[in-house]
Structure 1
Amino acid sequence: MTVEVQQSIGRAASVLTALAESKTGPLRASDIVRATGLGASTVARLLSSLEELGYVSKIADTQSYGIGAAILALASHGLNQNPLHRESRAAAQELAQRIGLSVNVGVRDGSSLIYLCHFEGAKAPKSHTMVGFRQPLHASALGKCLLIDMTEDERHAILGEDPLPRYTANTITTHEQLTAELAQIAILGTSTEDQELALGRFCIAAPIRTAVGDVAAAISISGRLSLIRGVDLDEVREDLIEVADRISVALGLISAVPH
């Protein structure tokens, strides 16, 4: 692949990223220029090519652009080809329906986690999906589960040095605190997130393991504190561990995993 082709792909990706990360919906070409730092003529050419391919769509009667149907199709194919998504989808959906809260499945992608599945119970409706969203590893219950098999040196390498980013007054910001909490998670089998990422929210997560016992993903139950107070956390924890184990078995895990 030539440098010119690499640059063209990078520019197209930056346009799609700007559209995906927009907090205000569809963007005009001038908005994309500001978001990407690319020249106006370059953005115009890219939008024309991406629209022709179906990766962006022009909103009728406006000069704005949004993500196109081709991107949605690619995302769908990517999820359906992912064994973790296939094996966890039905179990996560059934769990959300049974307990009435949100259930998410996440995997590590570099220094963050990305949601593979998101289902809402009757008590926790949302107007948007979390699939594809990212969260920090050290400040989320899912992320902590994804860190438990790593050495401290490996965690330093992907998370960086102290202080770790703070999101609320409850966020863990040092590797010493994180190491101590991960040791407890390994013993209990679940992690918690008590207003560490967002105030007013609580989350419990359990690891999902591969056939050889490595942590491949994590599944969580989350909701507003007012909802969590109305459930038996011990029962929720047991239910979550059982579902995580069921998914792990579907992935091929058949033997005990030593600490």
Structure 2
Amino acid sequence: MQRPPGAAVPGQPGAATVTASAHPADGPGHSPAATLIGSVQRAMRLLETVAVHEYGAPAKQLARETGLALPTAYHLLRTLVHEGYLRREKGLFFLGDAAERLGSSGAKEKRRSTVADTLAHWRDSIGVPMYFAMYRDGEIEVMCVSGSRETPAVEEWADFRETGHAHAIGQCLLSQLDEDARRDHLARYPVRSLTPYTVRDNHALMRRLARTPRMGPVVERQEYALGTVCAAIPITVGTTAATMALSLPARQAERLLPAARRLQGEIGRHLGALTLSISI
């Protein structure tokens, strides 16, 4: 009579048998959800273990270090390789592109969170709404805004990217570019009047930018929005122009420069950590 696969053969001690205990997660009393969770946990342990081996590690070593049975480790490693989270070279396993992307995304999100927390701290300690922006790929990008009910941020009633000539953020970023880059930007986004106080044309703006002190605060008064004054502090992140900025109601204009100087001092004290965090 034909025996079922895996059944022990009488008279042969030690013959291999397949029982539920070989895969406890699949045994009686375990739901499919519990099995899946267990598999995810084991896969994550493998990924974490591979990550500490810069020069790769073989399956047997990974199984030993994670406490997994070798067949289980082999199965999970093959799956992770297939999905791109690991790669195999000459019998050694390394982190794959998908895992690298996950790590990069996580680090990027952490840096964004750090910038947001820093802006919120300065918003509350200085008592002004805060802005962080960068000039990338020929565009003004406002990356983070931190306002509150007590210190509301300026409403973006005209696209910040297209109106850099009128607000302190844009003027500060443009002041950090060379003349050719400024002309290129203004060719795409020419000066236009937003309020009676807006700079009147491209030539006037270019003259103003040329006179702007290299690392001094840039100030505008009601050029973007009536009733609002703004100041921006230049920051260089590698080769990228960046700025931290603040705004106030025009009725509090006397606070603008003292607040800008305080912000500049705060940035100076935290520049190293801040530069690392805002490399987004």
TM bucket by the smaller chain?
Answer: 0.5 to 0.7
Shift of 1:200: 0.8
Please tell me whether the aligned partners of residues 130 and 153 of structure 2 are also in contact (alpha carbons under 8 angstroms): no
User: Gapped runs of 5+ residues in structure 2?
Assistant: 1-103
User: Gapped runs of 5+ residues in structure 1?
Assistant: 1-76, 254-259
Is 1:236 aligned to 2:259, yes or no? yes
Q: Could you say which residue in structure 2 is the equivalent of 1:85?
A: 112
Q: Alignment partner of 2:142: what SS?
A: strand
CA distance in 2, matches of 1:87, 1:216: 19
Q: Could you say which residue in structure 2 is the equivalent of 1:157?
A: 184
Distance 1:186 1:116, change over 3 A: same
Q: Could you say which residue in structure 2 is the equivalent of 1:222?
A: 247
Residues paired across the two proteins, number = 172
CA distance in 1, matches of 2:260, 2:114: 20
Q: Could you say which residue in structure 1 is the equivalent of 2:223?
A: 196
Please tell me whether the aligned partners of residues 176 and 241 of structure 2 are also in contact (alpha carbons under 8 angstroms): no
Q: Could you say which residue in structure 1 is the equivalent of 2:132?
A: 105
State the percentage of identical aligned residues.
Answer: 25
Matches within 5 A, 1:175-190: 175-187=202-214, 189-190=216-217
**TM-score between both structures, scaled by the size of structure 1:** 0.55
Q: Which amino acid aligns with 1:172?
A: V
Shift of 1:103: 0.7
Is 1:95 aligned to 2:125, yes or no? no
Shift of 1:117: 1.3
Q: Could you say which residue in structure 1 is the equivalent of 2:69?
A: none
CA distance in 1, matches of 2:106, 2:207: 34
CA distance in 2, matches of 1:111, 1:210: 16
Matches within 5 A, 1:36-47: none
Q: Alignment partner of 1:219: what SS?
A: strand
Shift of 1:150: 1.8
Distance 1:94 1:129, change over 3 A: farther
Shift of 1:218: 0.7
Shift of 1:143: 0.9
Distance 1:252 1:161, change over 3 A: closer
Shift of 1:163: 5.6
Is 1:114 aligned to 2:141, yes or no? yes
Q: Could you say which residue in structure 2 is the equivalent of 1:3?
A: none
The correspondence for 1:139, drawn from 166, 169, 172, is 166
CA distance in 1, matches of 2:156, 2:193: 25
**TM-score between both structures, scaled by the size of structure 2:** 0.51
Q: Which amino acid aligns with 1:240?
A: L
Q: Does 152-161 or 192-201 show the bigger shift?
A: 152-161
Q: Alignment partner of 2:234: what SS?
A: strand
Q: Alignment partner of 2:132: what SS?
A: strand
Please tell me whether the aligned partners of residues 146 and 215 of structure 1 are also in contact (alpha carbons under 8 angstroms): no
CA RMSD after TM alignment: 3.6
Distance 1:181 1:88, change over 3 A: farther
CA distance in 1, matches of 2:271, 2:194: 31
Please tell me whether the aligned partners of residues 215 and 234 of structure 2 are also in contact (alpha carbons under 8 angstroms): no
Please tell me whether the aligned partners of residues 141 and 203 of structure 1 are also in contact (alpha carbons under 8 angstroms): yes
Question: Whose Rg is larger?
Answer: 2
Shift of 1:233: 3.4
Q: Could you say which residue in structure 2 is the equivalent of 1:249?
A: 272
Distance 1:139 1:129, change over 3 A: closer
